[in-house]
Amino acid sequence: MAPAWRTLTAQLKFKRHFHHVEWYLALAETFERHNQRPLLCIAVFSDNVLVAVFPYRQDRLQIGSVALRLLKLVSDPGEAETARDLVIAPGLETSHFFQGFVKHLATHDHTWDVISLHGILEDSIAATVLKNSPQLPYFQTPGGVLDRGRIDFISCADDHRPFERLSRRFKNNLRTAHNKLKTKKVTFEVARSESDLQRLLPDFLKVESSGWKGELGTSALKDPETSTILDRLIYQFGPTGRCEIHVMRLEDEPIATLFGIVTDKIWYMFRIGYDEKYERASPGHLIVRNLLQQQATHQSFDIIAPYNAPAWLQAWKPDKTLQIFNSYVFRPSPEGAQLANQIETIARDLNLPILVPVKYQ
């Protein structure tokens, strides 16, 4: 199905890494290798042409005293609070297509109570199809890390002038950090080919694990699932130049690294790490600065998108914010609507904010 999926994705006016089949091939291989719940996909064809894909995993959600069976839109091996989406052909998202799709599932699949569209952005296909599904009972809560309900991005095309947005204090801090290393040899290296990515991957793993991530066991070097997904992302995106590893070296010693996916003019920052021995020199910020300088030279991307919502990103004055939310779609029936209202009431009793209350026609 991969060729048909690529054809479908190519039709999308705006797409992100999680619309590409390579992302899901990497996830599927990682889930299988570590005996996790498998990635499942429902594919919809019209006249033998693929028009929609719903990538999901079966899950359970306990809200109060009620246990719900979920079909959960897939994210990544760690089920992090990150963005994701459906893949649906242009034009269908503004019709009642998704509503009909859910009704079909409700009739033919009795193994679920809720379709969890977890981590969808305000401009996503999933958000659009929900607005065009008046007969589906659902409610929404804020999504993202710590339920902040937003994801910030850095626009870095020439006309956005990202360095001009920085505060004078932060510019001075960057200059001071640079000056602390002025007497030493500082170099930056970028890997884009599959062979170069595999060559720099050990440096990335070593640096990322040198600080608190290594101590907590969350670094890719210490976490087998994360290590596998990085390897699989290189395998899937590397041959087409859509994966990058950046390394900052001090006297040939790697002290900061970035791992990213580059698709559709977006640099998706999947992992970042730096050697905490050099924390006073701010190597993490310096390698991000070099990434922005690379953009000015190569212009291969216009937006830097973080994996989640790191606090340090605010120093770079992100200028674009999108809402991210979790939508819970129930069966389109009186019983489904009753369950939706029951769960929404429990959520309110637990002080969970409700962005969109249940509506059912």
pLDDT for 157 equals 84
Between CA 60 and CA 114 the distance in angstroms is: 9
Residue 185 φ/ψ, nearest 5 degrees: -80, 115
Distances, alpha carbon 86 to alpha carbons 2, 14, 43, 51, 158, in Å: 16, 13, 11, 11, 31
CB 301 within 8 A of CB 267: yes
Q: Name the percent of the chain lying above pLDDT 70.
A: 99
pLDDT at 144 over 90: no
Q: In the CATH scheme, what is the homologous superfamily, with its name and number, of domain 157-301? A: Gcn5-related N-acetyltransferase (GNAT) (3.40.630.30)
Q: Fold match between 2-150+323-349 and 157-301?
A: yes
pLDDT for 115 equals 97
Summarize the confidence of residues 298-316 as an average pLDDT.
Answer: 86
The dihedral of CA 26, 29, 32, 33: what is its sign?
negative
pLDDT at 361 over 80: no
What's CA 23's distance to the chain center, in Å?
A: 10
Residue 111 vs residue 159, higher pLDDT: 111
**Residue 138 β-bridge partners:** 329
pTM of the model: 0.93
Q: Indicate the average pLDDT of the chain.
A: 92
pLDDT for 211 equals 82
List the domain boundaries for the chain.
2-150+323-349, 157-301
Q: What is the pLDDT of residues 246-270, one digit of tens each?
A: 999 999 999 999 999 999 999 999 9
Residue 350: pLDDT band (50, 70, 90) is confident
Helix ranges, 93-223 (H): 97-108, 125-131, 168-180, 194-208, 212-216
Cα angle at 264 between 260 and 270, to 5 degrees?
20
CB 51 within 8 A of CB 58: no
Residue 33 vs residue 64, higher pLDDT: 33
pLDDT at 146 over 70: no
The residues, any chain, with a CB within 8 Å of residue 318's CB and separated by 6 or more, are 152, 153, 154
The residues, any chain, with a CB within 8 Å of residue 206's CB and separated by 6 or more, are 221, 254
Summarize the confidence of residues 220-242 as an average pLDDT.
Answer: 95
Between CA 356 and CA 361 the distance in angstroms is: 15
Tokens describing residue 90:
């242009």
Cα dihedral value 293, 298, 303, 304, nearest 10: -50
Between CA 39 and CA 58 the distance in angstroms is: 8
Summarize the confidence of residues 102-119 as an average pLDDT.
Answer: 94
pLDDT at 123 over 80: yes
Q: Name the percent of the chain lying above pLDDT 90.
A: 76
pLDDT at 75 over 90: no
The enclosing H or E element of 20 equals none
Residue 2: pLDDT band (50, 70, 90) is very high
**Residue 267 β-bridge partners:** 262, 304
Residue located via tokens 């204090």: 169
pLDDT for 147 equals 65
Between CA 247 and CA 190 the distance in angstroms is: 6
pLDDT at 306 over 90: no
Greatest mean pLDDT among 123-127, 147-151, 312-316 lies in 123-127
pLDDT at 177 over 80: yes
Instruction: Give the CATH class of 2-150+323-349.
Output: alpha beta
Residue 352 vs residue 77, higher pLDDT: 352
pLDDT at 81 over 80: no
